[in-house]
Structure 1
Amino acid sequence: MANIASISVTNFRNLTGIDCEFSPGFNLLTGENGAGKTSLLEAIYFLGNLKSFRSQTHHDLIAQNQACAVVRASVSAENASFFMAVERCKERVRLKVDLEDIQSAGAFVAHLPVLSLHAQSDDLILGGPEFRRKFLDRTAFYLFPEFATIFSQFSRVLKQRNAALKNGQSTLAWDGLFIQYSTLLTEQRLAALDYIAAILPGVLLSLSPYLLLQVEYHQGFRAQGSLADSLARHAARERELGQTLSGPHRADLILSVNGFGVKSTASRGQIKIILLALYLSVAGVWRDVSNKNAILLFDDFISELDNRHASLLWDFLSHFGHQAFFSATDRNPLAHPFDAKFSLSAGKITSML
């Protein structure tokens, strides 16, 4: 089981200098608001994603009046241990695994899958289709070695086709490639969704036995025809707007619970349970199919569950076998036996257990 054995964080938000060792089991971060709990979880997330779960710009991650933020970690895996480091400066980023400089972001994050549930996680359900596409694409990234190349080629061809449309040029030179990579991308997304669908009912049954979640993939054009037919049908409108109107870049996951759309009918509590089920299903798929154990982060998330569902989640996680990090304020403690506890105050950390 992969886990973060220790971490060092320098000039990352309000964390000026943190060094600590973690348990491979459940780790609890406590402290008042603004103490640095979320920042530490964000640093872990950044190590596995090279982006933040609460900011769109990396400038926000660098401490005030500092040139760079640095996150280093020692990772223990089943057969080997290794060292990861990311230095994020305002104009550049440097990545290292052990002593090797890594040039590709994809090659770097492939070493450490990290999943996070936080205040913005509701976007997966309540936000636009782009959030659900990213969710499915990230699932596929850790399942299929060729996915990153397919996605990159699709994005390149889409950009070129859109440029031709904006310039009033013919798209014939790009249509064949666009259909080719659209087909490959759709096949991998559907394969990833099949893996999720196989494990999701069991996960949901453990978390909330009365919820029945259905997940369907909308491929970005009418199911009755082909992508080529859709491109031909919308050709005039595409020239008018200067953009491609059909394809995987307009795909979506359609979520329904007990036969009704999740967005319009699910309660806030049900949305939290559905999010948990989806993310934990992805973690289970990565583990079972790709032998990759994701690090799980819960940023003040469990406190939003009622006692019954929180108890069901603890029971599930206790048998799941993944390293997990939880944050909670001192005023709203989590009632669970943790393997390690840490107190944060003014960006400093102290081990309590």
Structure 2
Amino acid sequence: MRLVAEKAVPSGLTVLNVQGFRHLASVSLNFSPHLNVIYGVNAAGKSSLLEAIYFLARAKSFLTPRLQRVIANGGKEVVVTGRVQNASGRHQLGVSFTEGKTRVRLNGEDVRSLSEFAGLIPIQVLNTEAQRLLTEGPTERRSFLNWGVFHVEPAYREVWRRYQRGLRQRNAALRLGNESVAKAWETELSEAGEVVTEVRTQFLNTLMTEWAMLLNDWMPHLTFDWRYRTGWLQGESLSDALQKGRSAELKQGFTLYGPHRADLVLVVDDQPVSQRLSRGQQKIVVIALRLALLTLWRQHSANRPLLLLDDLAAELDAHHRGLVMDRVRGMDVQTFITTIEAERVPFSDQAQWFHVEQGRISADERNERGSA
């Protein structure tokens, strides 16, 4: 796997324009390339602002799979645009959703493939539902893994597309009971699948070393490890697995073996983390994983990552909250933090401040004092 560091421009998302997003009033905001603090009472709209940023970066929500829910009551359309400055220059981004259709634009042109667009903003979210990465099943973890590799190894996008294309064709043949066509796609599928697995494994070997180091500092009384389940029997080639499983797959109507069935399993003291640890401890484990990923992205991607921290105080004691914030402070990433108690945000003298009240967002007066 190619891991070549390139010097990134110390910037990120510089401008955000929001229209028709949940209960947020239409607004245009200018952000700091370092730390941005969004404060206000509960239900003011702080999380919705982070969700709007994520919507711009990924054309989806981190709170709901149904984009219709992000449209303001009585509205018909949501539009979020922004300006990103990175190693390749300045880019104008835009995402809209209306009548069940998502439209993505980059520098004035429509984008057909999200991957052409999403590479500009490597983004991670830490919120009260962080432990869902452990509890929601393999699909969530495969998505985490694919996005993680995508921002480290650019060639991964094409080989994953190739694998998905072969998977769709073979599944279609299996549903029709056409064994000869299903067999014909196995070479393409197995070749691409083996490469996908090799790249993922190399990536994980690097990522999980960083993850384990973090947890050794944060929870030294526990022993953490990980397993990567490739999606077929260990010691067997994917080609052999597809050939042996073809009869069963014809009955099921879909492909049972391959990296689309893979899973990342986190363990502590030889037990799954999701079964062994409390909800708060699980959250710490996932925070360590996502911060390890940001570290890796920063080292090996030309584009500077963006971190959304939503209500970090929930379910984290003061000690672990301090450890997390110390780590974030030492990372060269653009950070957005929501909080109810603004005075408790560490290193806030370096921040750009935004106040949210009943959906209205305004730059805080302390920004002017800080720049005076």
TM-score of the alignment, normalized to the shorter chain, above 0.5: yes
| CA–CA distance in structure 2, aligned partners of residues 74 and 313 of structure 1 | 29
| CA–CA distance in structure 1, aligned partners of residues 149 and 226 of structure 2 | 16
Alignment pair present for 1:150 and 2:159: yes
Q: 1:91 to 1:126 in 2, by over 3 A?
A: closer
Partner of 2:204: 193
Choose the corresponding residue for 1:37, options 43, 46, 62. 46
Residues 280 and 316 in structure 2, CA contact (< 8 A), matched pair in contact too: yes
Secondary structure of the corresponding residue to residue 15 of structure 1 = coil
Secondary structure of the corresponding residue to residue 46 of structure 1 = helix
Secondary structure of the corresponding residue to residue 314 of structure 2 = helix
| CA–CA distance in structure 2, aligned partners of residues 155 and 121 of structure 1 | 28
Alignment pair present for 1:66 and 2:97: no
Counterpart code for 1:247: G
Kindly provide the CA deviation profile for residues 88-137 of structure 1, in whole angstroms up to 9, marking residues without a partner as x.
22243333333444332111111111111123332211121111111111
Residues 303 and 334 in structure 1, CA contact (< 8 A), matched pair in contact too: no
Partner of 2:58: 49
| CA–CA distance in structure 2, aligned partners of residues 190 and 119 of structure 1 | 29
Partner of 1:25: 34
| CA–CA distance in structure 2, aligned partners of residues 40 and 348 of structure 1 | 10
| CA–CA distance in structure 1, aligned partners of residues 226 and 11 of structure 2 | 29
| CA–CA distance in structure 1, aligned partners of residues 329 and 128 of structure 2 | 23
Partner of 2:93: 84
Alignment pair present for 1:218 and 2:238: no
Alignment pair present for 1:265 and 2:276: yes
| CA–CA distance in structure 1, aligned partners of residues 156 and 104 of structure 2 | 21
Partner of 1:350: 362
Structure 1 position 335, deviation (Å): 4.2
Choose the corresponding residue for 2:309, options 266, 277, 298. 298
Secondary structure of the corresponding residue to residue 94 of structure 1 = strand
Residues 45 and 52 in structure 1, CA contact (< 8 A), matched pair in contact too: yes
Structure 1 position 211, deviation (Å): 4.0
Kindly provide the CA deviation profile for residues 13-68 of structure 1, in whole angstroms up to 9, marking residues without a partner as x.
11230222222222222223321111100011111111110111222222233232
Counterpart code for 2:53: I
Counterpart code for 1:88: F
Partner of 1:248: 259
Which deviates further from its counterpart, 243-252 or 29-38?
A: 29-38
Structure 1 position 344, deviation (Å): 0.9
Q: Equivalences for 1:161-240 in 2 at 5 Å?
A: 161-170=170-179, 171-240=182-251
Which deviates further from its counterpart, 126-135 or 145-154?
A: 145-154
Residues 7 and 72 in structure 1, CA contact (< 8 A), matched pair in contact too: yes
Counterpart code for 1:117: L
Alignment pair present for 1:315 and 2:326: yes
Which deviates further from its counterpart, 69-78 or 184-193?
A: 69-78
Choose the corresponding residue for 2:340, options 320, 329, 336. 329
Partner of 2:285: 274
| CA–CA distance in structure 2, aligned partners of residues 96 and 188 of structure 1 | 30
Q: 1:126 to 1:285 in 2, by over 3 A?
A: same
How many residues are matched? 352
Secondary structure of the corresponding residue to residue 315 of structure 1 = helix
Counterpart code for 1:223: Q
Partner of 1:105: 114
Counterpart code for 1:174: W
| CA–CA distance in structure 1, aligned partners of residues 214 and 132 of structure 2 | 21
Choose the corresponding residue for 1:8, options 5, 17, 35. 17
RMSD: 2.0
| CA–CA distance in structure 1, aligned partners of residues 265 and 334 of structure 2 | 30
Choose the corresponding residue for 2:135, options 126, 136, 149. 126
Kindly provide the CA deviation profile for residues 254-308 of structure 1, in whole angstroms up to 9, marking residues without a partner as x.
1112332212101222211111111011111111112332110011133321111
TM-score with structure 2 setting the length: 0.88
Aligned-residue sequence identity (percent) comes to 32
Residues 87 and 302 in structure 2, CA contact (< 8 A), matched pair in contact too: no
| CA–CA distance in structure 1, aligned partners of residues 106 and 236 of structure 2 | 47
Residues 296 and 322 in structure 1, CA contact (< 8 A), matched pair in contact too: yes
Counterpart code for 2:251: E
Residues 193 and 258 in structure 2, CA contact (< 8 A), matched pair in contact too: yes
Which deviates further from its counterpart, 147-156 or 272-281?
A: 147-156
Residues 166 and 242 in structure 1, CA contact (< 8 A), matched pair in contact too: yes
Which deviates further from its counterpart, 71-80 or 212-221?
A: 71-80
